[in-house]
């Protein structure tokens, strides 16, 4: 796929583009998505790590808050007209500080929590009720002020069993009686099979993740399937820039760290000369996996990680060396220019 | 005009209250509100409070949906409201009340009817042979 994408970047001719489109369509028919859903497990819960303040700060710092991108128009949700104001420098600074606080709210990461356990509690069995009706009865407690998760929803089966409703029915009933805006009663086909694949191949990552956040709860196995597959797709295609400055970058980084697959992201950071962020990523990795290291500097930390924990050591070390050389040369050049100017 | 769930009906301290169905569908589409109202009031009159809904037509998943505000139902029962038989049956199925005898009767009759049908079909098949 990446080869085809590169070709399509090079081509501007519309006739040739249609050929590429054909190839892409054709290749999709042959190669299906081979990603496996990676859910967070109940036994090894990521929640205590994820909600740790230090880790949250690291994730936020890695997200690289660009206000232009945080407040850009999204494909999901309502649109608002821009407002123009004349401000003095001082007022502008105040406004920007205010906006930064709002941006933090926009960047709240979808939480990493273990998948919910199935509900199968049976309240009573009464075989004498067999034959009462050919359809099930679903009873929902609509008493005021109960959370969606705690609400009693019971099903009387046709064989007379009264039991807790499973999660799918619960979601449906909650949406029927307590609808959430933008959430649909039926899960859109977009999240399934070839439609989902198309979205990923078109690199509409933010769109699909935003939509998944609206449609599902974070502990829904379906949400974790969509999110994990999307993250893996991004990781394989090195499309991290698509997610930067969005709320999903933190969750994706955490996912990659949790599943020990940060090499591509690390390579991306090293290649783009963000050595600070690279060391932050490694710090994150070490604190999530409880790896003890001595107090050492950024560069040494990266070197240590590449030696002991990376999966793509050769490539990463090459890139690391190249970046170090580049930065050194840059420093020398700057120094040279300074001297030439007589400072 | 639609009646708000909080109810607009007249509340008299000493009158008898009932928890019962109020038909709120249209032609060929039954739908019921479960309401608290005065016993002597008409079905279309304003109610004291709505405490649930019942949709007797199964949806595409073959489910009949029923919502019940148990908090308010308990409150009204505690205040001496009577519960009508159809609602009593529903509350029995929901596990709130014991199963209503009529529910057992209906299921027994339905089972017997099914059995009879199967028996008669078998008899017919044997006759054909």
At residue B4, the pLDDT reads 65
At residue A107, the pLDDT reads 92
Closest-CA residue to A132 (of B33, B112, B55): B112
At residue A284, the pLDDT reads 93
Q: H or E element: which one contains B52?
A: strand B49-55
Partners of residue A139 on adjacent β-strands:
A154, B66
> Angle at CA A226, nearest 5°, toward A223 and A231?
120
Q: What is the mean predicted confidence (pLDDT) over B58-84?
A: 95
Please say whether the dihedral angle defined by the alpha carbons of residues A171, A174, A176 and A182, taken in this order, is positive or negative. Answer: negative
At residue B66, the pLDDT reads 97
Q: Using CB atoms and an 8 Å cut-off, which of residues 90-129 of chain A contact chain B? A: 123-124, 126, 128-129
B110 Cβ under 8 Å from any chain A Cβ: yes
Percent of chain B scored above 90 by pLDDT? 80
If you write DSSP's letter for every residue of A78-108 in order, what string do you get?
A: -----------HHHHHHHHHHHHHHHHHHTP
Q: What is the mean predicted confidence (pLDDT) over B103-121?
A: 95
Per domain, the residue ranges of chain B are 1-90, 99-129
State the smallest CA–CA distance between residue B125 and chain A in angstroms.
25
- How would you classify the pairing of strands A153-156 and B82-83? unpaired
The rounded distance, in Å, linking the Cα atoms of A293 and A276 is 17
At residue A78, the pLDDT reads 72
B69, A143: Cβ pair inside 8 Å?
Answer: yes
Chain A residue with minimal CA distance to B96? A139
At residue B5, the pLDDT reads 65
Question: Which of A124, A129, A146, A177 would best serve as a mutation to test chain B binding (most B beta carbons within 10 A)?
Answer: A129
Q: Which residues of chain A have a pLDDT value below 50?
A: 1-31
H helices, E strands: number in chain B? 3, 5
- pLDDT tens digit sequence for A82-99: 889 999 999 999 999 999
B95 Cβ under 8 Å from any chain A Cβ: yes
* CB-closest option in A138, A154, A162 to B65: A138
Mark out the alpha helices in chain B (DSSP H runs). Answer: 70-78, 85-93, 101-128
Q: What is the mean predicted confidence (pLDDT) over B30-41?
A: 93
At residue A20, the pLDDT reads 42
Enumerate residues 6+ apart whose C-beta is below 8 A from A186. Answer: none
B95, A154: Cβ pair inside 8 Å?
Answer: yes
Q: Which residues of A touch B114 (CB under 8 A)?
A: 131
The CATH label, of 3.20.20.140, 3.40.50.80, 3.30.1320.10, 3.30.70.1290, for the domain at B1-90 is 3.30.1320.10
B42 Cβ under 8 Å from any chain A Cβ: no
At residue A32, the pLDDT reads 53
Enumerate residues 6+ apart whose C-beta is below 8 A from A44. Answer: none
Please say whether the dihedral angle defined by the alpha carbons of residues A55, A57, A60 and A64, taken in this order, is positive or negative. Answer: negative
- pLDDT tens digit sequence for B3-29: 666 677 777 888 899 999 999 999 999
A128, B108: Cβ pair inside 8 Å?
Answer: yes
């Amino acid at each position: 796929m990446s080869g085809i994408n590169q070709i399509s970047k090079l081509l501007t001719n519309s006739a040739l583009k249609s050929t590429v489109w054909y190839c892409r369509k054709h290749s999709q028919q042959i190669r299906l998505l081979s990603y496996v859903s990676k859910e967070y497990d109940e036994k090894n819960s990521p929640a205590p790590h994820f909600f740790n303040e230090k880790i949250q700060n690291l994730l936020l710092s890695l997200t690289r808050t660009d206000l232009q991108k945080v407040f850009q128009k999204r494909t999901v949700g309502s649109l608002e007209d821009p407002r123009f104001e004349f401000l003095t420098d001082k007022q502008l600074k105040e406004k920007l500080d205010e906006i930064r606080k709002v941006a933090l709210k926009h960047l709240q990461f979808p939480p990493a929590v273990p998948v919910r356990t199935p509900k199968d509690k049976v309240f009573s069995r009464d075989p004498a009720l067999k034959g009462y009706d050919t359809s099930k009865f679903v009873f929902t407690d609509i008493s005021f002020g109960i959370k969606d998760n705690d609400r009693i929803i019971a099903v009387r089966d046709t064989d007379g069993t009264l039991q807790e409703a499973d999660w799918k029915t619960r979601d449906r009933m909650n949406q029927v009686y307590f609808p959430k805006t933008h959430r649909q009663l039926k899960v859109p086909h977009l999240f399934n099979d070839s439609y989902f694949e198309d979205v990923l191949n078109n690199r509409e990552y933010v769109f699909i993740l935003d939509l998944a956040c609206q449609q599902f709860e974070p502990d829904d196995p379906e949400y974790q399937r969509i999110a994990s597959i999307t993250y893996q797709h991004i990781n394989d295609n090195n499309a991290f820039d698509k997610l930067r400055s969005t709320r999903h970058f933190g969750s994706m980084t955490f996912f990659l760290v949790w599943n020990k697959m940060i090499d591509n992201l690390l390579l991306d950071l090293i290649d783009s000369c963000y050595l600070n962020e690279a060391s932050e990523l490694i710090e994150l990795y070490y604190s999530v996996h409880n790896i003890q290291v001595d107090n050492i500097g950024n560069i040494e930390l990266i070197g240590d990680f590449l030696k002991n924990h990376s999966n793509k050591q050769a490539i990463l070390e090459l890139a690391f060396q190249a970046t170090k050389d580049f930065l050194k040369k840059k420093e020398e050049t700057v120094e040279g220019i300074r001297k030439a100017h007589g400072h | 005009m639609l009646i708000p769930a909080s109810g607009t009906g007249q509340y008299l301290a000493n009158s008898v209250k009932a928890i019962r169905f109020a038909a709120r569908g249209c032609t060929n589409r039954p739908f019921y509100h479960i309401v608290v109202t005065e016993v002597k009031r008409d079905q279309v009159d304003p109610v004291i409070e709505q405490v649930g809904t019942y949709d007797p037509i199964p949806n595409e998943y073959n489910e009949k949906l029923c919502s019940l505000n148990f908090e308010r139902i308990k409150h009204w029962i505690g205040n001496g409201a009577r519960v009508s038989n159809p609602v009593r049956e529903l509350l029995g199925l929901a596990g709130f009340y014991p199963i209503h005898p009529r529910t057992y009767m209906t299921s027994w009759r339905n089972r017997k009817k099914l059995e009879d049908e199967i028996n008669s079909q078998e008899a017919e098949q044997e006759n054909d042979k």
